[in-house]
Structure 1
């Protein structure tokens, strides 16, 4: 027996397959042989990668430079016996670690979900008897019997088939069930076209078959996907990369300033302990304690907004990643399209008719040259629709106001078309009761039904492939009901034209028979049929997709379609919704077969300009995503099937479908669309850009305070004077303003024209040179103002606590006025709208009351070494703070003028 895991079983005749596996179709394996093989090859289960221990995963959340600084602040404040501050800062660190742990542990559930997708039981022949066995006990060479409704328990080479159709949409992306057969196939046949194979976890929708197990567990195609998921990189988001780099730089700057300040102090003769306390104050002042909280809360607010817009975020940083997206790789079926087959064109009586309305809801009309057509005016059209209605096994039903199909989607499209023309299936079935049926068989490519008419005569209706039907017809029906000779070549040409537009074309015919006939066979429909017409159907684009694709393209985001469907169908949809130009030809599509022949470097060059990928396998999708990322693209990848899981994990942000998506896809993804709608991705990208804007606004707002506080401490040491602000006062400033002022920027509405910007480059620094200059200028101004007011007050004879209260209030109110500047980093606050962020106004009011309490309440004076100040002092504070506001607004005006010029 030869059992190689890389054997291409689909290329081998079924008799040879049974010989190689040393099994028998009638008897299967013996129990003894089966147990022997299970011992040798293992059980039919997906083996999961050993998970990281939960405690180690939790500790990994602290491995960030900013967290190091905060933990340092915890130690420092505890050393100062400022227990409340120490607890607050540690609380921030702990909450962030818990959130990160929960997110990452959820992401690692994908492979567990994949294992669950393996079916629990299988109908197997062993020792010559049919048995129901647990699927995990299947082994190579087992004979498995499949029936409609079964999930395939392992990878099978089909030996006998009776009208078998398998839904492989969750596996290959094919939008309609695949017709199976048993003949061997060429070695280069791509996965989606291996029609003599049935793959683990796919669903049998029609017919029956017998096959032999050729792969189990991790060796199945779904098991290989499990390995691809495990091998795909978990990429850091652009935000986490930038925050890490920014935090590292900030850490080095703070350590450098602290060492320089300590050295200067020692050289000036200060005591070691005094200098240590001064450096502690400097470090506490320079650390932006509120940044992790602001980051988490801003992202969380973005998550809440998106949840209301049908997008569920599973990992917080994914919100911002959306805003960085430069390429969206979208599945076709159900995302860009309705996932509801719809008849769009009819060819009858040698003319085309258009059909309006999409989906299974029977709303729409039949038109010709934009004029509505009534069936009474065209008998050929009437009979074409009636044939599609009666020669049909599907059902059109409504559930909670939603129209659905029970049965084959193409047959469902014919029912909807007939209903649009006011042909009721129930009424027509009573007028034309069915007497006999020839079921669809792949050998013949048609289905036929025999009906009795009201006058007692009998009629056969036939539907099937264009080639099969035209070969049986010599005449056609015209619009008056007359029988005419016709040119079959013309109909072949029209059918090809419809197919080239991505339509799936079916042909319809009829034949009147003797009224005594009670049954039909293939000989009855072999010739002398009357051709009625053709119906062309497609899974149409969602109406909102057109605008969504156009909006993404205006925003500099490239939309690429990656589908398991046929190249012509994919191209037709891509042309309609604007992914490619209407004049694009087959060269605009790259197929899975072509991808397999390209090296990684060749593929990296191809993906730059190819926007449609068809008939792709799971490994192809993963290669496409990696190739795009090699070109520095930030990828948002959509998917719903098991086959999408590796590429969803590899992408910068994986987006799963909430309605049609498998558990595997949902567990792997960063975001889930509850409406399976591409337009929701556009909304999410827009929201992501708004979230990133607000984070930059917060950072731009908070850093001048930290910089100013650090400068104050350094200046005091260099000049040999007392500290204008104490460490406990610095913590008061940083924590209260971050919560009541800075966090209110998270509620800032999205700026206009946000979707007309180009995507941010992945290597772009978190702060531009212009923003750095602004931060330094404001930081220096806060430092100078507080230092000047502190010493001016001392010269006027006030005590040190009062002078320090002035210095603290300069920072608080300076931040407050600067907060309004930061509502937009480019436009004037007056252009933004003063009252458009009511949360910010509420935060300002609360901060004023809190600062008044800090200044005047005795208990606060005692805790924070503050003291009451006079109205004159308030005048100085408000004047200096307002000056900051004016300077920044003037700088914005000058920047706008420079850009205009």
Structure 2
């Protein structure tokens, strides 16, 4: 606007604009921009009444009137959201059409850059036009602010970040932003100010147009992924244990029983069958049902937003999951087999009933304790909050109540081939459960200390 002005309105009078006037106006503009103000310059030109042609050619020889500054203050929660992103290993970059100084002022207000950050972290659209894509890719990780950019520049920025191997999310609201949103791994459109074209091109729509909502979505996504790991680890280690118990009992009882073992006959009366079909189904119903579902809605670890982003190609069966699936089933199997063989189920039907009752009770208690421990694969349940997931406790108490009903209701005892456990059976079951739970929590405690070290 200033370049097209030859006159200035000063103190109510129009006079010729001087180089000193222009320098003063630019100084005021910069000072206002540094206060995070978006500035508009105003000028006019008087045209004769006979003028009929109104195009760009008449936009010269104008009279400069003044500057108006507008402010669009960032929401209070954005500053905290950017801090969360930084802790979570997410790099936030500002891409704006505003003046360079305005963008820098807003970025400093949000702690996106420090007060004395180097100007090399800021790039304008004009500077972008002077470098090629290869040069941009080399320097993209060091740029925090892009000012006075066009939608075409946004596409180049996304392309450069992706070339570096990053997962890129881009926000936008205008029609011209749609190509950049489509190119990004995650296109985020504004639900209130965004156009329909932008919303169609995006992967996610912010209904409140709030940057903090993106950070909440990241936290939610990490919780879901972690809960999938917890759910799978809990179910698989318990099911592997059940398979091992059934298999080892089947092949070892004939050797342990010696002449007391009589092959053939009803499988329900065979000591080589550790648990009957209905007992196995009952174990799965009480332990794989409600407790596993409750783990799917677990609140998550306290350091969830302090971890670095995971590799998108990383398998859900990470090193810690594999360790759980190898070591825990072996430990549980060894304890359960010890209790089963101590009852000598090959002697007669009473001993077989005693062994199965003890095994069924201990197995269910162990798996329910496993569900509590599975609330975190990295930290002890005491650190993540042992009672934080109320749904899990409702599920565990419900499952325990159902098991007690089977053990102490006469007609259900006959149906499930069990009897009321003796005090020694409860003592063994609780001891085995305490050993498994204590070992899991101790292992996680030691591992967490090593990570800190």
Task: Give the TM interval when normalised to the shorter protein.
Answer: 0.7 to 0.9
Per the TM alignment, residue 678 of structure 1 is displaced from its structure 2 partner at its CA by 0.5
Give the whole-Å Cα distance in 1 for the aligned partners of 2:7 and 2:73.
30
Whether 1:709 aligns to 2:248 is no
State the match for 1:758 in structure 2: 308
Give the whole-Å Cα distance in 1 for the aligned partners of 2:41 and 2:127.
30
Q: Deviations over 1:509-568 (max 9, x none)?
A: 99xxxxxxxxx95479x99x9x98633234443333222212211222101233455656
Whether 1:535 aligns to 2:68 is yes
Which of residues 294, 319, 326 in structure 2 aligns to 1:769?
319
Q: CA 1:807–1:603 in 2, change beyond 3 Å: closer, same or farther?
A: farther
Which of residues 217, 226, 230 in structure 2 aligns to 1:684?
217
Which of residues 853, 866, 876 in structure 1 aligns to 2:428?
876
Q: Could you tell me the TM-score, scaled by structure 2's length?
A: 0.76
SS of the counterpart of 2:89?
Answer: coil
Q: Deviations over 1:202-249 (max 9, x none)?
A: xxxxxxxxxxxxxxxxxxxxxxxxxxxxxxxxxxxxxxxxxxxxxxxx
SS of the counterpart of 1:578?
Answer: coil
Q: CA 1:782–1:647 in 2, change beyond 3 Å: closer, same or farther?
A: farther
Q: CA 1:593–1:494 in 2, change beyond 3 Å: closer, same or farther?
A: closer
Per the TM alignment, residue 614 of structure 1 is displaced from its structure 2 partner at its CA by 4.9
Q: Deviations over 1:97-124 (max 9, x none)?
A: xxxxxxxxxxxxxxxxxxxxxxxxxxxx
Give the whole-Å Cα distance in 1 for the aligned partners of 2:86 and 2:316.
24
Q: CA 1:622–1:806 in 2, change beyond 3 Å: closer, same or farther?
A: farther
Q: CA 1:765–1:544 in 2, change beyond 3 Å: closer, same or farther?
A: same
Is 1:474–1:486's contact at 8 Å kept on the other side of the alignment? no
Q: Which has the higher contact order (CA 8 A, sep 6+)?
A: 1
Per the TM alignment, residue 720 of structure 1 is displaced from its structure 2 partner at its CA by 6.0
Which of residues 194, 197, 221 in structure 2 aligns to 1:661?
194
Q: CA 1:624–1:738 in 2, change beyond 3 Å: closer, same or farther?
A: farther
State the match for 1:633 in structure 2: 166
Superposed, which structure 2 residues align to 1:386-397 within 5 Å?
none
Per the TM alignment, residue 602 of structure 1 is displaced from its structure 2 partner at its CA by 4.6
Whether 1:866 aligns to 2:400 is no
SS of the counterpart of 1:637?
Answer: strand
Q: CA 1:900–1:660 in 2, change beyond 3 Å: closer, same or farther?
A: closer
Give the whole-Å Cα distance in 2 for the aligned partners of 1:750 and 1:799.
44
SS of the counterpart of 2:189?
Answer: strand
Whether 1:594 aligns to 2:128 is yes
Q: CA 1:801–1:652 in 2, change beyond 3 Å: closer, same or farther?
A: farther
Give the whole-Å Cα distance in 2 for the aligned partners of 1:561 and 1:602.
19
Q: CA 1:849–1:684 in 2, change beyond 3 Å: closer, same or farther?
A: same
Q: Deviations over 1:581-605 (max 9, x none)?
A: 4444376226388369634x55443
State the match for 2:401 in structure 1: 849
Superposed, which structure 2 residues align to 1:409-558 within 5 Å?
465-466=1-2, 471-473=7-9, 475=11, 488-498=21-31, 501=34, 503-506=37-40, 521-522=46-47, 534-558=67-91
5+ residue gaps, structure 1, are: 1-464, 478-484, 511-519
State the match for 2:337 in structure 1: 787
Whether 1:806 aligns to 2:340 is no
Give the whole-Å Cα distance in 1 for the aligned partners of 2:331 and 2:163.
44
Q: CA 1:739–1:591 in 2, change beyond 3 Å: closer, same or farther?
A: farther
Q: CA 1:845–1:866 in 2, change beyond 3 Å: closer, same or farther?
A: same
Q: CA 1:625–1:744 in 2, change beyond 3 Å: closer, same or farther?
A: same
Per the TM alignment, residue 869 of structure 1 is displaced from its structure 2 partner at its CA by 3.5
Per the TM alignment, residue 571 of structure 1 is displaced from its structure 2 partner at its CA by 4.6
Per the TM alignment, residue 878 of structure 1 is displaced from its structure 2 partner at its CA by 1.7
Q: Deviations over 1:127-170 (max 9, x none)?
A: xxxxxxxxxxxxxxxxxxxxxxxxxxxxxxxxxxxxxxxxxxxx
Give the whole-Å Cα distance in 2 for the aligned partners of 1:807 and 1:886.
20
Per the TM alignment, residue 840 of structure 1 is displaced from its structure 2 partner at its CA by 1.5
Per the TM alignment, residue 847 of structure 1 is displaced from its structure 2 partner at its CA by 0.5
Per the TM alignment, residue 673 of structure 1 is displaced from its structure 2 partner at its CA by 1.6
Per the TM alignment, residue 781 of structure 1 is displaced from its structure 2 partner at its CA by 1.9
Q: Deviations over 1:790-843 (max 9, x none)?
A: 232316753545533432332221011122222233433333333322212111
Give the whole-Å Cα distance in 2 for the aligned partners of 1:652 and 1:508.
41
Is 2:33–2:39's contact at 8 Å kept on the other side of the alignment? no
Which of residues 719, 722, 736 in structure 1 aligns to 2:286?
736
Give the whole-Å Cα distance in 1 for the aligned partners of 2:224 and 2:159.
26
Aligned length: 417
Q: Deviations over 1:366-420 (max 9, x none)?
A: xxxxxxxxxxxxxxxxxxxxxxxxxxxxxxxxxxxxxxxxxxxxxxxxxxxxxxx
Greater share of helix residues, 1 or 2? Answer: 2
Give the whole-Å Cα distance in 2 for the aligned partners of 1:833 and 1:643.
47
Which of residues 230, 237, 256 in structure 2 aligns to 1:697?
230
Q: CA 1:636–1:508 in 2, change beyond 3 Å: closer, same or farther?
A: closer
Which of residues 373, 377, 381 in structure 2 aligns to 1:825?
377
Superposed, which structure 2 residues align to 1:104-183 within 5 Å?
none
Give the whole-Å Cα distance in 1 for the aligned partners of 2:72 and 2:294.
45
Is 1:802–1:869's contact at 8 Å kept on the other side of the alignment? no
Give the whole-Å Cα distance in 2 for the aligned partners of 1:535 and 1:645.
31
Per the TM alignment, residue 508 of structure 1 is displaced from its structure 2 partner at its CA by 6.8
Per the TM alignment, residue 705 of structure 1 is displaced from its structure 2 partner at its CA by 0.5
Is 2:230–2:374's contact at 8 Å kept on the other side of the alignment? yes
Give the whole-Å Cα distance in 2 for the aligned partners of 1:857 and 1:764.
49
Give the whole-Å Cα distance in 2 for the aligned partners of 1:602 and 1:859.
79
Q: CA 1:838–1:504 in 2, change beyond 3 Å: closer, same or farther?
A: closer
State the match for 1:242 in structure 2: none
Per the TM alignment, residue 784 of structure 1 is displaced from its structure 2 partner at its CA by 1.7
Q: CA 1:781–1:486 in 2, change beyond 3 Å: closer, same or farther?
A: closer
Per the TM alignment, residue 652 of structure 1 is displaced from its structure 2 partner at its CA by 3.7
Superposed, which structure 2 residues align to 1:339-358 within 5 Å?
none
Per the TM alignment, residue 690 of structure 1 is displaced from its structure 2 partner at its CA by 2.8
Per the TM alignment, residue 849 of structure 1 is displaced from its structure 2 partner at its CA by 1.5
CA RMSD of aligned residues (A): 3.9
Q: CA 1:490–1:563 in 2, change beyond 3 Å: closer, same or farther?
A: closer
Give the whole-Å Cα distance in 2 for the aligned partners of 1:833 and 1:796.
46
Is 2:120–2:143's contact at 8 Å kept on the other side of the alignment? no
Give the whole-Å Cα distance in 2 for the aligned partners of 1:535 and 1:602.
37
Per the TM alignment, residue 494 of structure 1 is displaced from its structure 2 partner at its CA by 2.0
Q: CA 1:494–1:591 in 2, change beyond 3 Å: closer, same or farther?
A: closer
SS of the counterpart of 1:606?
Answer: helix
Per the TM alignment, residue 469 of structure 1 is displaced from its structure 2 partner at its CA by 6.6
Give the whole-Å Cα distance in 2 for the aligned partners of 1:643 and 1:726.
66
Per the TM alignment, residue 622 of structure 1 is displaced from its structure 2 partner at its CA by 4.5
Q: CA 1:826–1:597 in 2, change beyond 3 Å: closer, same or farther?
A: closer
5+ residue gaps, structure 2, are: 50-59, 255-271
Per the TM alignment, residue 704 of structure 1 is displaced from its structure 2 partner at its CA by 1.5
Greater share of strand residues, 1 or 2? Answer: 1
Is 1:580–1:611's contact at 8 Å kept on the other side of the alignment? yes
